[in-house]
Chain A
């Protein structure tokens, strides 16, 4: 495995990655504090032990990275050059007022300064810069939630972590604007990248975070992303993950959420497109009274594969978790839902629900759905449900009996199915935009646009609907 600058693309392998790490030790460690160096050393040792996950592991039984890993990728140890970031990353969701920060191939794109400190004390920008500037914050939060001991990919990311997004919201501060992270993969060659993000919400703080993963061209990419999120006491995070990548891309998106006393996490994972996507969503209730509400929607076709793994650790009492994932699978697409709720012995008064519903539009589309409860406390309320099927023929008949064509009836029912997830998005302009994208995706018209998922710089393409879906 060589660095990109050498123009040698190689197949990613266990040994190759360890070799690349050893070869570039000097470069990777150059700005490290002792704490960071220690993390890297532990992590590479763990990766060397664990390697890339294979279907032999229970957690990876239904998602095989073999094909993704057998492509050739380059690895970039330095940021890709950007001519005019403002032009590339201007984003135009109408009326969505966000502070936009962007990543290109995992590297933070610096508009003015690598790290901005806003008037209200919010810090946002490059993680690499935060490593240098805020070593005590880094030492307090970084690497504490993403567990390298059980997951080879998180270990690999931690060993190589160079840059990504850093957001710090101080105690008692509510961000007046949503912060939007756009992570774009765009490189003339196939690229392997490992962005690392750290998001910290102090106590009684509030943040809306829109996090987009997009590709920019049709080159294959393999992104192994790790995001650590600390939600302090009584803090509130409204989190949106939007994924729209090309069909040759692989994305492993691991998010580690730590919730303190009475903290709230609301999250939406919306997957529009991608080759192979795996969302590892890990929630730890680290104190009593937390609340996590995680919803997902995936709309896949061709040979696309999406895998949502949600692990909720009810380590403390009186916490509530709610998971609801819905998917529509067309052609040869496949999906995995694995929800694991662990209720530890002292986690009394836990309230938990996990649900997964899928519609298979063809005989060749596949779903593996496994909601799973592991309960050691006795005073809890936990339930789960899973349903996979075709479009309800009764409902189809009902709509057609009112004069609606078969094609439009189908569209209406699919939209209604997906809408149950989308309609809980609390930011209106974002919800309208996503509703619009869902409609286009269902019509098969959502492309990997020349810019990003959010049609940056490109005017909205008019889409004709036989029926007016816009006001449903």
Chain B
């Protein structure tokens, strides 16, 4: 098993957001986490990635058999966890190319590898760009600076392709995207799907799941997973709305 979450409780400023989450993810699987706004979807993503803003008060997370909660953010990233941000940060003065080179070489250093030769790096970048249909000029520009919402999300997918994570968490990557951008983002994910990696796709709408077909769908409500099922659960939610679950609970 790649990721095992057991009874996770997490809070921010003393306020409990996650109230006992259990989730298991195996290699080769795509899990979708759905749910209304403010129910803890992004918090779950942040807690897995290791954001210090949130305090885990109870429970455990094991990743590749290791206790994930003791690792700092960067080590989780180097172990193959990637978080696609809902609101990617702008970094003026640092090009995406060099940002990625820095990241890749730090990850390689962690793994005891030499820095990637420039030629190899550039070749890889070209391949990945094609894979995610990102224009060259975006990578030469400062990270996300002045990017449109769609460009920022594409840049997240490009970074994911470059870092080739074992577990990728996409936090509402579909929000604010038009249908073309949505398709590009989804294609990027589909092209990266393999037997040895896994995706956790967080979304508010079923729309994205037309393009990225999940193996499992979980519904998060008031800090708990209240329903899990196959891809048909997403359809059902689309049809009945979240009120259906609220009424059930």
Contacts and interface: CB of A to CB of B under 8 A. Distances in A.
Given A392-B89, A397-B73, A403 B101 contact: no
A412 B106 CA distance: 13
Contacts of B105: 467-468
Contacts of A374: none
A168 interface: no
Contacts of A471: 98
B118 to A, nearest CB: 9
B12 interface: no
Given A412-B102, A416-B94, A467-B102, A401 B88 contact: no
Interface residues of A, number: 30
Nearest to B46: A397
Contact of B91 (A395, A418, A423): A395
Contacts of B50: 401
Contacts of B95: 472
A403 B74 contact: yes
A346 interface: no
B71 to A, nearest CB: 11
Nearest to B79: A403
A393 interface: yes
A393 B52 CA distance: 10
Interface in A410-442: 412-413, 415-420, 423
Size band of the B side of the interface? 20 to 34
A453 to B, nearest CB: 22
B83 interface: yes
B23 interface: no
Contact of B51 (A395, A397, A418): A397
A400 B74 contact: yes
A56 interface: no
B107 interface: yes
Given A395-B91, A472-B94, A401 B102 contact: no
Contacts, number: 86
A219 interface: no
Contacts of A398: 85, 88-89, 91
Contacts of A409: 74
Contact of A423 (B82, B89, B93): B93
B91 A416 contact: yes
B182 interface: no
B103 A472 contact: no
A85 B89 CA distance: 51
B217 interface: no
A405 B74 CA distance: 6
B94 A400 contact: no
A403 B53 CA distance: 18
B92 interface: yes
Given A402-B163, A467-B105, A471-B98, A420 B92 contact: yes
Interface of A: 392-395, 397-406, 408-409, 412-413, 415-420, 423, 466-468, 471-472
Closest 6 CB pairs of A and B: A419-B93, A416-B93, A403-B77, A402-B103, A398-B89, A400-B73
9 contacts: A400-B72, A400-B74, A404-B74, A404-B103, A405-B74, A412-B94, A416-B91, A419-B93, A468-B102
Given A400-B72, A402-B77, A408-B102, 11 more contacts: A394-B89, A397-B73, A401-B74, A402-B100, A403-B163, A404-B102, A408-B106, A415-B93, A416-B142, A420-B93, A472-B95
Interface of B: 49-53, 72-74, 77-78, 82-83, 85, 88-89, 91-95, 98-107, 110, 142, 159, 163
